[in-house]
Chain A
Amino acid sequence: MIDPREIRRIVLEQSMRAHVGHIGCSLSVADILAALYSGAMRIASPEDPDRDRFVMAKGHAALALYAALHLRGWLPRGELERFCTGRTLLGVHPVAQLRGVDFSTGSLGQGLSYGAGAALAARLQGSGRRVFVLMSDGECDEGAVWEAAMFASHHRLGALVAVVDRNGQQAFGMTEDVLGLEPLGERWRAFGWDVHEADGHDPAAIAAAVARMDGAAPAPHVLLARTVFGRGVSFMERRIKWHYWPMSEEEYAQAMGELVGGRR
């Protein structure tokens, strides 16, 4: 089992060392990734052709993905330590050249289409593998998300699972102030999806929700994971500047202290 606190610790360590931002959104998805990479997704190895596929549609939280890959043993510590440092495959956004990354992402609104194609491919190949797409809620502003949503439900792609990191924030404001998404669950339902909701900081609840999704069902599944932006570091929670800013030494010390102190 992956401890989400270990994902958060790596996110803080590496973003501090490399002096880069996108910390808040990486903390937001730590528990989701912990659940997915602790068994909700079936991945015997990144080379197994029948492994479940994963699309980090919100590519800007790739550091949390790198942490999960490291904790699964697929990304050596030495490589992880190269995050945003010199010549490296570990950039702010993930690339498929890196072991364990199935799709290069970073441009919002494209990942769900990749996932729909991957799920259709699984069906055509008679494979029971599933496809997981981790999206940001702000990403749902993109029209192409809804093109993909229509395609997936029309083709009854039950092997497709979208997880929306519903932290209510986007790059320059609150989602409901910028371009209102609610009623988000109703919208997905109206597009023909099987809609689930869960506490996005409870890995057991996330795993249970995924377990309830039938890969052979006649509809794709979406999990609206209620999360808090910056979760686990009190001064980052719900603060948009942590979409961008790196930490100072003092902030880093406080943040690590909070993690060690047992807060998630």
Chain B
Amino acid sequence: MRKAFFDGLARVAQDDGRVLVLTGDLGFNFLEPLRDRFPGRFFNAGVAEQNMTGVATGLAEAGFIPFVYSIVPFAVMRPYEFIRNGPIVHRLPVRIVGVGGGVEYANNGPTHYGLEDLGLLRTQPGIAVIAPADGRQARNALLATWDTEGPVYYRLGKDDRLEVPGWDGAFAPGRAETARAGADILVISTGAITAEAAAAADALAARGVGCELLVVASLRPAPVEDLARRLARHRVALAVESHFAWGGLGSLVAEVIAEGGIGCRLVRCAIRETPDGVVDDEQAMMRSCGISRDALVATALGALG
């Protein structure tokens, strides 16, 4: 989805000279075309993400729309206070682009995982938090939000082939999108793990369990009304995310259930342990964390009883 997002960004940059791109020394074999096409508007800020975020704040104050790129932990956690005191407090249109949420950087180990980014930024009312499900939705999300007021965080999956089959990737801020219809259980997903959730939904359907799949790419503004309406129609909901179980999508859904007084049981399918240092490929990591498609099917069947 990263490629789809940046292809969209190249088009946007072509039409609007306010768009700049800053990278924290990442993007080898990927960002070169953008760099070569917009040499005066592309900056490798070096391995210095705090400064990169502060520089973007200074650029945005003068009217630019800087896109700041790194891997999720270095885009969000390292410069977190710069994000808060910079674009959020100043209400400036800096775009934080983090690639590889959850355990996508599987073999790279715990330093490269993004397990708390959604929670950290969702606590800030002044920044939009967007985790697209696949390439089409990433592109749609970019085109819908690149010039909005105030800062935006995009969490992008790095797999460019990833696609949620049989779905158009629609996106609107503050809305949830239906990717599968079904009456027996509600599965709510965010980010690149949505393809796993869709595979689980299809496996459940094949067993005769009707599964509604709701895609929440816009975590802030939160699709509270869409969620409440769907949750009210189900007795069991699964919240699926490649993120810790606290602060992200599962917490958002729990908030909607509690504040709406909705009678739906929530099962949070998320990561619950600090990484123990054992690495494997992403599929294996998701299995060990209980968020692979097979694990989701088993969890859904267990929850339905």
Contacts and interface: CB of A to CB of B under 8 A. Distances in A.
Bound together: yes
Interface of A: 53, 95-96, 102-107, 109-110, 112-122, 124-125, 131, 143-144, 147-148, 150-151, 154-155
B64 A116 contact: no
B258 interface: no
Given A103-B90, A124-B64, A151-B46, A144 B58 contact: no
Contacts of B59: 117-118, 120-121, 124
Nearest to B61: A118
B231 to A, nearest CB: 39
Contacts of A155: 43
B61 A147 contact: no
B54 interface: yes
Interface string B137-155: 0000000000000000000
Q: Which 9 pairs between the two chains have the least Cβ-Cβ distance?
A: A117-B58, A113-B54, A121-B62, A147-B51, A117-B55, A147-B48, A118-B58, A144-B50, A114-B58
B85 A117 contact: no
Given A114-B54, A116-B54, A148-B51, A107 B85 contact: yes
Interface in B55-89: 55-64, 66, 81-82, 85-86, 89
B88 to A, nearest CB: 10
B91 to A, nearest CB: 9
A102 B50 CA distance: 20
Contacts of A119: 58
Contact of A121 (B48, B51, B63): B63
Contacts of A105: 85
A87 to B, nearest CB: 18
Given A118-B61, A121-B64, A122-B62, A150 B48 contact: yes
A155 B169 CA distance: 40
A125 B54 CA distance: 19
B90 A113 contact: no
B89 A104 contact: yes
Contact of A104 (B50, B51, B58, B90): B90
A150 B25 CA distance: 14
A112 B59 CA distance: 13
A102 B55 CA distance: 14
Interface in B80-125: 81-82, 85-86, 89-90
Contacts of A144: 48, 50-51, 54, 82
Nearest to B66: A117
A148 B81 contact: no
B40 interface: yes
B55 A116 contact: yes
Contact of B54 (A53, A102, A148): A148
B4 to A, nearest CB: 27
Given A104-B90, A144-B54, A118 B62 contact: yes
A124 B40 CA distance: 8
B23 interface: no
Contacts of B48: 144, 147, 150-151
